[in-house]
């Protein structure tokens, strides 16, 4: 009789244990399927947390290798999602930089067009000169050139800044040879001579085209002392430079008007 009672108790315990295990398995599968549905919806962070929770709570009921596989898939999807977000942000940043650059370029073009229209309307001339007597700087030529330009074209006005000018003129000149001779009229008088060479460049600031780029050589000046000879040589040079500049500018305007 006792044996039958023990057997009945054992059988009941086994039934309850099976029922408990079956209930826990159902619970584990329910949770797993819920996290699987989150994965399918693209909620990879939540799904990964769920699969990790299943590993801790249902290690006996569920296959750990399978759970690890799903966790790995979640990590891959999260990394891909992050990379896509970063790529999209980089593309948006690049597009914004291009938009700003295009806007800046458009503004620069508009400003250049405005300045160019002012240059064309005002027709100012910028003159830059560097003159030397042997190795010493000579300051007298700059104004002399402007004066001779004005003599050839009284309407021509000047700019202090090349950015404001229609044309720019760049002159480099140097007295590189000085000689002395006895006067044919009086042997006691020494006649001094100086020769100056110059390089002249004329630029159209609007089209950035060089209108003239040439050398003026062997311009001679004479006097009864060295200073007078040097100044006279530069005076003669200024006349030639002024004439060339006005001639070139008039030619340019004539061609533009056709």
pLDDT in tens, 71-126: 999 999 999 999 999 999 999 999 999 999 999 999 999 988 888 888 888 889 99
* Helix count and strand count (H, E) for the chain: 5, 6
What residues does each domain of the chain span? 1-122, 123-257
First to last CA, the chain: 133
Contact 132, 138 (CB under 8 A): yes
Helix axes 44-57, 64-122, angle to 10 degrees: 160
pTM flag (> 0.85): no
Task: Residue 54: name the closest of 74, 28, 26 by CA.
Answer: 28
| CATH top-level class of 123-257 | alpha beta
pLDDT in tens, 172-200: 999 987 888 766 656 677 888 898 999 99
CB atoms within 10 A of CB 206: 15
């Amino acid at each position: 009789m006792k044996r039958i009672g023990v057997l009945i108790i054992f059988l009941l315990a086994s039934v309850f244990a099976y029922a408990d295990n079956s209930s826990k398995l159902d619970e584990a599968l329910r949770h797993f399927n819920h996290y699987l549905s989150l994965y399918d919806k693209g909620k990879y962070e939540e799904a990964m947390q769920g699969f990790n929770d299943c590993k801790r709570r249902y290690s006996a009921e569920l296959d750990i290798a399978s759970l690890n596989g799903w966790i790995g898939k979640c990590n891959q999807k999260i990394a891909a999602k992050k990379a896509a977000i970063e790529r999209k942000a980089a593309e948006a940043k690049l597009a914004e930089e291009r938009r700003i650059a295009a806007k800046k370029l458009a503004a620069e073009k508009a400003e250049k067009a405005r300045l160019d229209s002012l240059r064309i309307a005002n027709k100012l001339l910028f003159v830059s000169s560097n003159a030397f007597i042997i190795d010493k700087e000579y300051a007298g030529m700059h104004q002399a050139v402007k004066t001779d330009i004005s003599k050839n074209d009284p309407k021509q006005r000047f700019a202090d800044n090349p950015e404001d000018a229609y044309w720019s003129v760049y002159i480099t000149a140097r007295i590189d040879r000085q000689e002395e001779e006895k006067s044919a009229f009086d042997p006691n008088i020494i006649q001094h001579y100086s020769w100056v060479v110059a390089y002249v460049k004329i630029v159209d600031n609007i089209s950035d085209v060089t209108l003239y780029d040439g050398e003026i050589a062997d311009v001679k000046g004479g006097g009864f002392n060295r200073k007078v000879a040097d100044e006279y040589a530069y005076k003669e040079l200024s006349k030639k430079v002024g004439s060339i500049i006005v001639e070139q500018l008039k030619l340019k305007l004539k061609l533009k008007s056709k």
